């Protein structure tokens, strides 16, 4: 007991110099671009985040090297490299997107994030922008590594360099990966737990595809409607390089059920839930 409170009369005098040099009237709202840049930084500023992104680059290089080392000479083409690089990136990118959301809850950083930016919708939108941006940039980098591999590989093998992938095809390829990334993002928003979302993602992309494959094999009715209900299957057309109007429609309808609606539900939960 070292101090006694000052009398209430003391509080009547206005403070000579306020710590709040910034008053409510002259505080500008936080611009959206700033939230995006901060969220982008948060994807890379931890060791796990850095290595997750780094591993995509490293795996792209390894996949390229593997095609050069083990691929048959006749098969050396840009398509072969793109397919080899596509697999590790397709698996890892959705996890990058998913963790950017779930870490706010699993690591409890949301306590700070959502008090500095009180509107959670802005934070989630910024994270979505980052996820799509990182997805596109990663795929362009991977495509560049693949192109380099195609040049080097064909030179080493002494065969003609084959460019069998059009720009349009590449764009569809990137779109497919961005959609995959958004699935990861959606699971992150919906489940808000790193462990649950990663398990959910692997169930969705590996277990579920096997089950629907099996179902389509045995049940004719399912095989006929599969494109409309199976988002994974509908995305297959994007990898083929040509998409018919019907396939776009199937992609849209299945995407509505597997991506848009769960994402909307997840965002609704995020906006209402308690951050602890």
Beta carbon of residue 171, minimum distance to another protein (angstroms, whole number): 33
Beta carbon of residue 249, minimum distance to another protein (angstroms, whole number): 40
Query: Which of 30-38, 151-159, 200-208, 214-222 is the region at the interface with another protein (rule: CB under 8 A)?
Result: 30-38
Query: Which of 37-45, 130-138, 143-151, 254-262 is the region at the interface with another protein (rule: CB under 8 A)?
Result: 37-45
Q: 55-84 mask for another protein (x: CB under 8 A)?
A: ------------------------------
Indicate whether 30 belongs to the interface with another protein (CB under 8 A).
Answer: yes
Dihedral (C-alpha) 155, 161, 166, 169: value to the nearest 10 degrees? -60
Among 7, 70, 74, 210, binds another protein (CB under 8 A): 7
Distance CA 89, CA 61 (A): 11
φ, ψ dihedrals at 46, nearest 5°: -110, 160
Indicate whether 46 belongs to the interface with another protein (CB under 8 A).
Answer: yes
Indicate whether 1 belongs to the interface with another protein (CB under 8 A).
Answer: yes
Residue written as token pair 């709202």: 29
Dihedral (C-alpha) 12, 18, 23, 24: value to the nearest 10 degrees? -50
Q: Pull the structure tokens for residue 261.
A: 């609606």
Distances (CA, A) of 51 to 54, 91, 254: 5, 15, 33
Distance CA 241, CA 173 (A): 8
Q: Pull the structure tokens for residue 120.
A: 């959670």
Number of residues that bind another protein (CB under 8 A): 54
Scanning 192-258, the segments in alpha helix (DSSP H) are 194-202, 208-218, 220-229, 231-240, 245-255
Among 45, 75, 224, 240, binds another protein (CB under 8 A): 45
Contact set for another protein, span 112-151 (CB under 8 A): 112, 114-119
Indicate whether 4 belongs to the interface with another protein (CB under 8 A).
Answer: yes
Query: Which of 42-50, 84-92, 216-224, 258-266 is the region at the interface with another protein (rule: CB under 8 A)?
Result: 42-50
Distance CA 126, CA 39 (A): 7
Q: Pull the structure tokens for residue 22.
A: 């910034």
Among 14, 69, 220, 244, binds another protein (CB under 8 A): 14
Indicate whether 19 belongs to the interface with another protein (CB under 8 A).
Answer: yes
Indicate whether 244 belongs to the interface with another protein (CB under 8 A).
Answer: no
Angle, CA 71 vertex, CA 70 and CA 73 arms, to 5°: 125
SS3 of 78, please? helix
Beta carbon of residue 115, minimum distance to another protein (angstroms, whole number): 5
Q: Which of 157, 161, 46 is nearest to 99 (CA)?
A: 46
Indicate whether 20 belongs to the interface with another protein (CB under 8 A).
Answer: yes
- Contact footprint for another protein (CB under 8 A): 1-8, 10-11, 14-24, 27-31, 34-35, 37-38, 41-42, 45-49, 103, 107-112, 114-119, 272, 274-276
């Amino acid at each position: 007991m070292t101090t006694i409170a000052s009398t209430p009369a003391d509080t009547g005098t206005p403070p000579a110099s306020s710590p709040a040099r910034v008053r409510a009237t002259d505080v500008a709202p936080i611009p959206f671009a700033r939230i995006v840049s901060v969220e982008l930084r948060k994807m890379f500023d931890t060791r796990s985040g850095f290595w997750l992104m780094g591993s995509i680059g490293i795996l792209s290089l390894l996949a390229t090297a593997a095609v050069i080392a083990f691929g048959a000479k006749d098969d050396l083409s840009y398509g072969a490299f793109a397919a080899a690089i596509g697999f590790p990136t397709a698996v890892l990118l959705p996890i990058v997107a998913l963790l950017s959301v779930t870490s706010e809850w699993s690591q409890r950083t949301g306590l700070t994030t959502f008090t500095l930016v009180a509107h959670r919708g802005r934070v989630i939108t910024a994270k979505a922008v980052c996820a799509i941006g990182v997805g596109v940039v990663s795929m362009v980098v991977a495509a560049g590594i693949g192109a380099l591999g195609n040049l080097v590989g064909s030179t080493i093998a002494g065969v003609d360099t084959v460019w069998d992938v059009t720009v349009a095809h590449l764009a569809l390829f990137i779109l497919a990966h961005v959609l995959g990334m958004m699935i990861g993002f959606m699971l992150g928003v919906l489940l808000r737990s790193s462990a649950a979302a990663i398990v959910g993602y692997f169930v969705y992309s590996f277990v579920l595809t096997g089950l629907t494959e099996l179902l389509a094999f045995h049940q004719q009715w399912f095989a006929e409607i599969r494109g409309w209900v199976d988002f994974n299957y509908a995305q297959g057309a994007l990898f083929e390089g040509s998409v018919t109007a019907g396939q776009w429609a199937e992609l849209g309808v299945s995407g509505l059920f597997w991506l848009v609606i769960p994402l909307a539900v997840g965002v609704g939960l995020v906006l209402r839930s308690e951050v602890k």
